[in-house]
Amino acid sequence: TAGSEEKCRVAESIGAERAINYRTEDFVDVMRGVGRADLILDMVGGAYIQRDIRALKNDGRLVFIAFLGGPKAEVNFVEVMTRRLHITGSTLRPQSDAAKAEIAAALKAQVWPLLEAGKIAPVMDQEFVLADAAKAHEALEADHIGKIVLKV
């Protein structure tokens, strides 16, 4: 999901089968219309949690990666049980240094070669020299698509 038609077009241009503008479409209705989702990565939480559950396929997975809308919600667990849904979450902050080192090693082995080969790439918006850090912060606060980078 994205908050503008331009962001949806960018997502589709880099491989998304279907982007949903959450300002003009209900992602639950869209997902139900196409057979529902196998996996939802949710960084909003809150009121979206029960809606995520309705958008999942049977045996689907819901993974929380942040809670911008809050960590609490009223959830109908009968639907979770009868449809065999899997709910989990992940964040790096509480991980041990050893666990973070394992993740970094796996990224180096599995993801970096794809980046180096040009098979995957981050979407870039703008790059700023360190002296222009204030301008970079202004760009972050403005509507943008992709990463904003400080070059040190």
pLDDT for position 63? 98
pLDDT surpassing 90 at residue 34 = yes
Q: What is the 3-state secondary structure (H, E, C) of 71-129?
A: CCCCCCHHHHHHCCCEEEECCCCCCCHHHHHHHHHHHHHHCHHHHHCCCCCCCEEEEEE
What's the rounded mean pLDDT across residues 21-30?
Answer: 97
pLDDT for position 93? 87
Q: In this structure, which long-range contacts are made by residues 137-143, counting pairs with CB atoms below 8 Å and at least 24 apart in sequence?
A: 143/4
pTM of the full structure: 0.81
The β-bridge partners of 42 are 64
Instruction: Calculate what percentage of the chain has a pLDDT beyond 70.
Output: 100
pLDDT for position 149? 96
Write the CA distances from 40 to 28, 74, 85, 86, 139, integer angstroms. Answer: 11, 18, 11, 10, 28
